[in-house]
Amino acid sequence: QSKKMWSGRFNEPVTELVKRYTASVDFDKRMAEVDIQGSLAHAAMLNKVGVLSIEDLKSIQGGMADILNEIREGSFEWSLDLEDVHMNIERRLTQMIGDAGKRLHTGRSRNDQVATDIRLYLRGAIDLLVGLVHELQISLIDLAEKNASTVMPGFTHLQVAQPVTFGHHMMAYVEMLGRDAERLADARKRVNRLPLGSAALAGTTYPIDREYTAQLLGFDEVCQNSLDAVSDRDFAIEFTAAAALVMTHLSRLSEELILWMSPRYGFIDIADRFCTGSSIMPQKKNPDVPELVRGKTGRVNGSLISLLTLMKGQPLAYNKDNQEDKEPLFDTVDTLTDTLRIYADMMRGITVKPEAMVRAVKQGFSTATDLADYLVKRGIPFRDAHEAVALAVHYAEQKHKDLGDLQLVELQSFSPLIGEDIFEVLTLEGSLNARNHVGGTAPFQVLVQIAKWREKLGC
């Protein structure tokens, strides 16, 4: 039984259950490398300001290098008795190098230490995630480019509305993910500030140089209020909110993929490696991955609520409640990492079925708005044109024909202004090409957007 680092004050040890209940090492050991990074910077700073000798600094550096090796090769022995990652590493250091190890914690508390670790960890995670968002964007852009002129029904209320292209639809998600990457990058600015030096809550009596520590660790700024610095978890909440939005976007796309893959739509097929079968129904191929993405979105949303709720009642400064920030945060990083990776690969394995899309778009009078716009261009007020076309749709529906399949005389019974040129307008291509402005679905515009994104992402 190893002695607790703060045990001198206590008459009895904690019970086994309390030990397990209060320990965080099982999950916070994933911050081991950043914890060491933070300690090394702290030690270097202490040496710079004359609080730690060069000999002590050297042996701390040597000891930490050995510990890092042990952790990487899996021989480091984590102990629940030592509560968390910080005390596990510090104890091991002291075992290895003696008194110099005991001097490391000078002018520092686990409160500013853990806040620093989470920020370092999250900064790395964000950088990785932004890269993965870009990867997914690239796979969507490739798919969009191949389908810049692939007509599909655009829906509102899940009813056929107007023709769009599959490429345009994919590029809608590229836009969403672009905002997601921006949000992550923005959150990173507030992640990348240094709490170390705040000590337990009030600062420290040593002549510390926080700017120097910040510089060593690559932080942009130093947190300006010690009480705030040790109790702030805004940055974790902001990150999780940004992550929840990424998941929300992917959940919407998942819902569409699931619908599109159902035989009722039959617009796409998802590669077998992302689907599973049924244990009873031999014919089944289920879109498990998109379904799970939709499901896991609930998990990330839950983490966001966990973190918000964790913080709402805490008085300043540090409270042990904060230890509960890690699991939702780590789970969010893991869920998002896996989801983005899987999604980029899955979108590369989508088979598009243009015939099914065209069949569907021809069933819903999707060019009705084009007919109304045609009449407006011939001088009819839009509301009147709308009504004339509504009557034409009603008529065509009874004849089981699309608008473009009616005879000219039939169309003219709804407006004498309709001429032979209407049949060009009522084609799917005519409808698409007519929406030729920034943001429109015309294939030309979709290609313009694709080129813009390729330039932006360098792909």
* Residues annotated catalytic, as ranges: 157, 278
Tell me: does residue 353 bind ligand ARG (CB under 6 A): no
Closer CB to ligand ARG, 114 or 184, in the complex? 114
- Sign (positive or negative) of CA dihedral 62, 66, 71, 76: negative
- Sign (positive or negative) of CA dihedral 426, 428, 434, 437: positive
Tell me: does residue 183 bind ligand ARG (CB under 6 A): no
CB of 372 closer than 8 Å to CB of 385: yes
Stretch that binds ligand ARG, among 107-115, 206-214, 248-256, 389-397 (CB under 6 A): 107-115
Stretch that binds ligand ARG, among 34-42, 94-102, 217-225, 314-322 (CB under 6 A): 314-322
Minimal distance in Å, beta carbon 319 to ligand ARG? Answer: 9
Size of the site for ligand ARG (CB under 6 A): 10
Closer CB to ligand ARG, 264 or 320, in the complex? 320
| Closest to 163 in 3D by CA, of 359, 295, 452, 323 | 359
Tell me: does residue 199 bind ligand ARG (CB under 6 A): no
Closer CB to ligand ARG, 28 or 402, in the complex? 28
Residue 353's Cβ-side half-sphere holds a number of Cα atoms within 13 Å equal to: 15
Minimal distance in Å, beta carbon 314 to ligand ARG? Answer: 12
Stretch that binds ligand ARG, among 11-19, 318-326, 327-335, 397-405 (CB under 6 A): 318-326
Tell me: does residue 105 bind ligand ARG (CB under 6 A): no
Tell me: does residue 24 bind ligand ARG (CB under 6 A): yes
Q: How far apart are CA 191 and CA 180, in angstroms?
A: 16
Closer CB to ligand ARG, 114 or 243, in the complex? 114
Single residue of 37, 111, 139, 297 touching ligand ARG by CB under 6 A: 111
* DSSP-based three-state secondary structure for 438: coil
Minimal distance in Å, beta carbon 191 to ligand ARG? Answer: 17
Beta bridge partners of 352: 268
Single residue of 35, 43, 45, 84 touching ligand ARG by CB under 6 A: 84
- Sign (positive or negative) of CA dihedral 35, 37, 38, 42: positive
Site for ligand ARG in 322-341 (CB under 6 A): 322-323
Length of the chain: 459
DSSP states along 151-197: EEEEEETTEEEEEEEHHHHHHHHHHHHHHHHHHHHHHHHHHSEE-TT
Single residue of 9, 264, 312, 320 touching ligand ARG by CB under 6 A: 320
Closer CB to ligand ARG, 183 or 326, in the complex? 326
Q: How far apart are CA 343 and CA 345, in angstroms?
A: 5
Closer CB to ligand ARG, 251 or 322, in the complex? 322
The terminus-to-terminus CA distance of the chain in angstroms comes to: 57
Closer CB to ligand ARG, 111 or 445, in the complex? 111
Spatial neighbors of 375 by CB under 8 A, at least 6 apart, are 384, 385, 388, 389, 415, 417, 418
The tokens for 407 are 């005879």
Minimal distance in Å, beta carbon 348 to ligand ARG? Answer: 39
- Sign (positive or negative) of CA dihedral 380, 384, 385, 389: negative
The tokens for 115 are 């806040």
Beta bridge partners of 163: 153
Minimal distance in Å, beta carbon 7 to ligand ARG? Answer: 14
Closer CB to ligand ARG, 31 or 141, in the complex? 31
Q: Which helix (H) or strand (E) holds 5?
A: none
The tokens for 96 are 């290895």
| Closest to 347 in 3D by CA, of 298, 299, 289, 300 | 289
> Phi/psi class of residue 276: alpha, beta or left (left: φ > 0; alpha: ψ in -120 to 50)?
beta
Minimal distance in Å, beta carbon 34 to ligand ARG? Answer: 13
Tell me: does residue 9 bind ligand ARG (CB under 6 A): no
Strands (E), 211-292: 221-222, 268-270
Minimal distance in Å, beta carbon 320 to ligand ARG? Answer: 6
Tell me: does residue 108 bind ligand ARG (CB under 6 A): no
Minimal distance in Å, beta carbon 454 to ligand ARG? Answer: 43
Tell me: does residue 35 bind ligand ARG (CB under 6 A): no
| Residue 164: φ, ψ to 5° | -135, 180
Single residue of 42, 105, 108, 110 touching ligand ARG by CB under 6 A: 110
Stretch that binds ligand ARG, among 34-42, 50-58, 275-283, 317-325 (CB under 6 A): 317-325
Tell me: does residue 226 bind ligand ARG (CB under 6 A): no
Residues within the interface to ligand ARG (CB under 6 A) = 24, 28, 84, 110-111, 114, 318, 320, 322-323
